[in-house]
Amino acid sequence: MSDTKQKLREELVKYGRLMPERNLVVGKSGNLSVRVPGEDTVLITPSMIEYEVLKPEEIPLVNLEGEVLEGKTAPSTEKIMHLAVYNARKDAGAVIHAHTIYGTILGVLGKPLPPLIDEMAIRLGGQVEVAEYKLAGTPDLAQNALKGLGDRTAVFLANHGTLCCGKDLKEAFHITEFLERMSQIYVISLMIGKPNPLPEESIKFEIEVYKHLHGMK
């Protein structure tokens, strides 16, 4: 096992254990993956192993077609969705699928999250859309998630959870937490009254900043 892959496996364990600690998932739900630099391969958390007891050596390595190259454990059943992002988005270095409370509420409602505060569009790329529902672990869900994600860093999965990506695991995890915080603010705002979105000119400016930061035209 190379030093790079070992370090990435340790990072997956680290952030995997933070998932239930930060109330982003319960039990064995959700999954994380990271692209191996310089290779067309991905390390992804295995299926049906709790994060608290997950060991680095239990994390399988797959190619971009989903074939297992290293490891004796089965990759997450959501590997198709993760790999769809990596194949379509060269800027994605890590992907996290979570079952957050407020993000899942918006997915269940089929309600997109508009830019509400300064920084949101810069970090998420604009309004967070809701991907059309399809059964978990299927190619159809992967394609719907990819369509809903577009060139942004986050998407809600209808009646399922959230999907976020970043240049590395640290960024993908922070985006997952940030999305949940924005979702919580939006849901509570809807309960109290009618939320005021950011002015259109501010949204356009922040999206341009986002595109510049991500090397997009």
- In DSSP terms, 42 is beta-bridged to 35, 62
Residue type, 37: P
Residues assigned a catalytic role:
78
For the chain, give the secondary structure using H, E and C. CCHHHHHHHHHHHHHHHHHHHCCCCCCCCCEEEEECCCCCEEEECECCCCHHHCCHHHCCEEECCCCEEECCCCECCCHHHHHHHHHHCCCCCEEEEECCHHHHHHHHHCCCECCCCCCHHHHHCCCECEECCCCCCCHHHHHHHHHHHCCCCEEEECCCEEEEEECCHHHHHHHHHHHHHHHHHHHHHHHHCCCCCCCHHHHHHHHHHHHHHCCCC
